[in-house]
Amino acid sequence: MKDETKLVTAGRDPESNLGIVNPPVYHASTVLYPTLDALDQSRKRREGGERGVYYGRMGTPTTFSLEDMVCEVEGGDRCMVYPSGLAAIVAALMSFLKAGDHVLMVDSVYGPTRRFCDTLAKRIDVSTTFYDPTIGAGIADLIQDNTRVVYVEAPGSQTFVMQDIPAITKAAHAKGCTVIMDNTWASPLFCKPFELGVDVSVQAGTKYIVGHSDVMIGTASATAAAWPELEVTSRMLGHTAGPDDVYLAQRGMRTLSVRMNQHWKNGLIVAEWLREQEDVIECVMHPALPNDPGHQLWKRDFKGASGLFGTTLKPCPRVALAALIDGLQLFGMGASWGGYESLVLPQDPNAGRTVTPWPYEGQCLRFHIGLEDPEDLIADLDAGFNRLRAAM
């Protein structure tokens, strides 16, 4: 089946739910057993790693439905749901790292992932080496005897640098390392990490899976070989997501294809327009643009693009930047992304890099292009840039 069909059909079981189309929301902690034998059998199944309804924290049919949907589309063997994207990231890293281990972390990684490496990982005696995202097969030269995890994120946060994932996974597996990928930007629809050799794929489902800026949730999918470690560690950390949040994420998945294709289309239209504003724009960072340095990798490994990309302005005074941003009518200024609404957020790539300095002096802006008409978004931006020019 094509992905669009999987999104509609996966994780549904009307015959077990009185013919109801959408899986019901189970609010559960305690699960009762009718007999001692039934309790014993349940314990044996759980100890054997069999999925089932044993206790609310271990999952319910609501949870299983979302996990099955993500696995079906992303291509993993099993999936687990978490209360946030960061919870999924930390659980995945903790699953394969112990005291004395070493992790290779891409320099353009999501900020909270970097902070985990700089804080909690250090406290448990795990060392980190940040590496150039464009290193490709050269990652082999950085792998140490105690390297256990190689972490990739494509495209990278803030600057949208692409990585050669197949080359990195090949080198990492040759040295016995586990490869974890943050696949949030592309969603399970537009990137299939397991086809690229990844062992564990994490996502902030808060973004495109949910799609409406109203739920915090994360997912981690794994190969059959990587799943046992991921499951054991995640259970021990006590991760569980609330049933109403899981249901909303499950509902968001049903429309993922329609939304993602529109984000892709709208994002490219706006990015191409921004690229034409050469008097105020230094560069536009969007791997789906033909002139982007990572375009060929994106074209080879991805099936589409999201609505998230970056730009760098030519140097301008703060008053001009404020004139641009403060007067925008259709772009909110806030963290997160992936919802139906458009956003703009000033960022400083230098603040989150240690290996690959950012070469531009102007302000970096991250745009998320929502589901509004792109002509309206461009008109709003055009007025904003005219205000910027006037304030220069």
pLDDT tens-place string over residues 109-138: 999 999 999 999 999 999 999 999 999 999
CB 27 within 8 A of CB 21: no
Architecture per CATH, domain 3-254, reads as 3-Layer(aba) Sandwich (3.40)
pLDDT tens-place string over residues 377-389: 999 999 999 999 9
- Is 110 known to be catalytic? yes
Looking at the chain, which residues constitute the CATH 3.40.640.10 domain(s)?
3-254
pLDDT band at residue 189 under the 50/70/90 scheme: very high
pLDDT of 316 over the 90 cut? yes
- Is 360 known to be catalytic? no
At residue 23, the pLDDT reads 86
pLDDT of 48 over the 90 cut? no
- Is 57 known to be catalytic? yes
Mean pLDDT, the chain, rounded, equals 96
Which one is catalytic: 43, 44, 57, 299?
A: 57
Q: How far apart are CA 186 and CA 260, in angstroms?
A: 9
CB 131 within 8 A of CB 142: yes
pLDDT of 267 over the 90 cut? yes
Give the number of other CB atoms < 10 A from CB of residue 29: 8
At residue 16, the pLDDT reads 80
- Is 44 known to be catalytic? no
Residue range 256-391 in CATH 3.90.1150.10: yes
Q: What is the largest CA-CA distance in the chain?
A: 78
pLDDT tens-place string over residues 194-241: 999 999 999 999 999 999 999 999 999 999 999 999 999 999 999 999
Tokens representing residue 28 in the block: 């559960």
At residue 330, the pLDDT reads 98
pLDDT tens-place string over residues 135-147: 999 999 999 999 9
Which one is catalytic: 82, 110, 208, 247?
A: 110
Looking at the chain, which residues constitute the CATH 3.90.1150.10 domain(s)?
256-391
With residues binned 3-state (H G I as helix, E B as strand, rest as coil), the percentages for the chain, rounded to 5, are 45, 15, 40
pLDDT tens-place string over residues 354-367: 999 899 999 999 99
Which one is catalytic: 107, 164, 182, 292?
A: 182
